[in-house]
């Protein structure tokens, strides 16, 4: 097994949610340049995308069916290099590792962030406030 280490390793983070929550998986280009292509994928699901943004719009053709009508980008932020993913109505099946790759201008596709999403019910008796 080949392991490649890169500065991107520092960007791995965990997002926790409960079933039914709406969550934002962060992905921001450090240079804050306008993104021309954004690809959100799951590391366990091959070549289909959770979301593909290209040519100024979200392309549903290669999107995994379970994510249709449940994902979006913060579109007004794309010019600032922010292609964070809004995932609506989470389920435990959404728990997985997500990757965000972007292309800017003539720059080759680059992995910007890796997010581990954990969707689980709150344990009984645990309250929201401390």
Sorting pLDDT into bands at 50, 70 and 90, what band is 77? confident
Cα distances (angstroms) measured from residue 54 to each of 35, 70, 123: 9, 18, 40
Mean pLDDT along residues 23-32: 88
Confidence band of 2 (pLDDT split at 50, 70, 90)? very low
pLDDT at 9 over 50: no
pLDDT at 90 over 90: yes
Tell which wins on pLDDT, 91 or 11.
Answer: 91
pLDDT mean across residues, the chain: 84
Residues 31-51: b if buried by 16+ CB within 10 A, e if exposed: eeeebbebbbbbeeeeeebbb
Q: Quote the pLDDT of residue 80.
A: 83
Mean pLDDT of 76-104: 91
What backbone torsions phi and psi does residue 110 show, to the nearest 5 degrees?
-135, 135
Nearest to 46 by CA among 99, 111, 90: 99
Residue 34 clears pLDDT 60, i.e. is over it: yes
The mean pLDDT value for 44-59 works out to 89
Q: Could you give the strand order of the β-sheet that contains 37-42, starting from the edge strand earlier in sequence?
A: 12-17, 110-119, 96-103, 37-42, 51-54, 57-58
Domains and CATH numbers, the chain: 18-119 (2.60.40.10)
């Amino acid at each position: 097994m080949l392991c490649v280490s890169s500065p991107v390793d520092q960007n791995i983070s965990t997002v926790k949610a409960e079933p039914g929550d709406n969550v934002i998986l962060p992905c921001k280009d450090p240079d804050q340049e306008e993104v021309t292509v954004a690809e959100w994928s799951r590391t366990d699901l091959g070549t289909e995308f959770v979301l593909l943004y290209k040519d100024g719009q979200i392309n549903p053709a290669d999107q995994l069916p379970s994510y249709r009508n449940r994902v979006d980008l913060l579109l007004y932020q794309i010019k600032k290099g922010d292609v964070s993913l809004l995932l609506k109505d989470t389920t435990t099946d959404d728990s997985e590792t997500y990757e965000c790759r972007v292309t800017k201008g003539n720059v080759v596709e680059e992995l910007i962030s890796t997010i581990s999403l954990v969707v689980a019910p709150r344990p009984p008796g645990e309250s929201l406030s401390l």
